[in-house]
Amino acid sequence: MRDTNSKPESIVHEERAQLDFSKDMSYGDYLHLDEILNAQHPLSPAHDEMLFIVQHQTSELWMKLMLHELRAAMLAMANPADNTKPEAFKMLARVSRIMEQLVNAWTVLSTMTPPEYTAMRPYLANSSGFQSAQYRCIEFSLGNKNAAMLKPHAHRADLLAQVQAAYESPSLYDIALQLLAREGIDVPAEALQRDWTQPYAESEGVKQAWITVYSDPHKYWDLYQLGEKLTDIEDAFRLWRFRHLTTVERVIGFKRGTGGTGGVSYLKKMLDVVLFPEIWTLRTNL
């Protein structure tokens, strides 16, 4: 039985914890914490600017992971080998969980009041989350294509190349429909061979393809799971957008955004965007 009166230092020695890292890689070394924790540079004297910076930096880190998982899932789904589907589904499930983290991040930022934001807003100039290259890659990868959204990245060739690649490539939904076709589901040719730079248009034929899957889940179990993974992602993405909207309205009201958009009015329009339309409409027909 352990002596409950043991001193903390004796417990450390008993557990044989390594304490000397003069010659070994430490936790901070592995994670490059010096660089990360010294990347916050407030421009205003406002106390709350640190919250604003950390919120957006951590969101960018989560988005980096989301793109890592999303791109890998899309590659796996595009692979004709049948054994890649479980890997892709695990990655898509993780994408949904990452979005939950991003939704919760808005809850923290919503503690910033209008006077607190007003104190730091002039220092932001025209910078805005609207200009996030990673967010734009996510939007494009999920099918919300818009050529105008390439322009904010034209000043950075490296960023433009990333966003352009996502813009010109098939979306997650395009790849999902190709997978359905490979599995013997009748998917209209125009949904499989189209201009990937254009937003996806809802199709009655595609809805019937998904109805085939959902009408016999046991026969098409993998595709049925795929449909639900897509539903999870869009559900989580809608929540992310909605929390963004409510946080912005709570903090700045109906003022224009720093990036030049209408702010709340622009975000409300984004709520109407449906990424995987047939996944939702088929439910009425079942």
**Taking the domains of the chain in order of start, what are their residue ranges?**
45-284
Give the integer Cα–Cα distance in Å for 73 and 85. 8
Confidence of residue 13 (pLDDT cuts 50, 70, 90): low
> 45-284, which class in CATH?
mainly alpha
Mean pLDDT of 192-213: 96
Query: Any binding-site annotation on 47?
Result: no
Query: Any binding-site annotation on 52?
Result: yes
Decide if 143 contacts 71 (C-beta within 8 A): no
Who contacts 140 (Cβ-Cβ below 8 Å, separation ≥6)? 149, 163, 166, 167, 169, 171
Give the integer Cα–Cα distance in Å for 236 and 98. 9
Express as a percent the part of the chain with pLDDT over 90: 74
Decide if 141 contacts 63 (C-beta within 8 A): no
For 25-48, the pLDDT digits (tens) are: 999 999 999 999 999 999 999 999
Query: Any binding-site annotation on 258?
Result: yes
- pTM confidence score: 0.89
Query: Any binding-site annotation on 185?
Result: no
> What local confidence, expressed as pLDDT, does residue 6 receive?
61
Give the integer Cα–Cα distance in Å for 93 and 102. 15
pLDDT at 150 over 70: yes
Query: Any binding-site annotation on 95?
Result: no
Query: Any binding-site annotation on 97?
Result: no
Give the integer Cα–Cα distance in Å for 153 and 149. 8
Query: Any binding-site annotation on 187?
Result: no
| Average pLDDT of the chain, as a whole number | 91
> What local confidence, expressed as pLDDT, does residue 229 receive?
97
Mean pLDDT of 5-20: 70
Mean pLDDT of 148-164: 95
> What local confidence, expressed as pLDDT, does residue 253 receive?
81
Kindly report the number of other CB atoms within 10 A of residue 229's CB atom. 21
Query: Any binding-site annotation on 121?
Result: yes
Query: Any binding-site annotation on 247?
Result: no
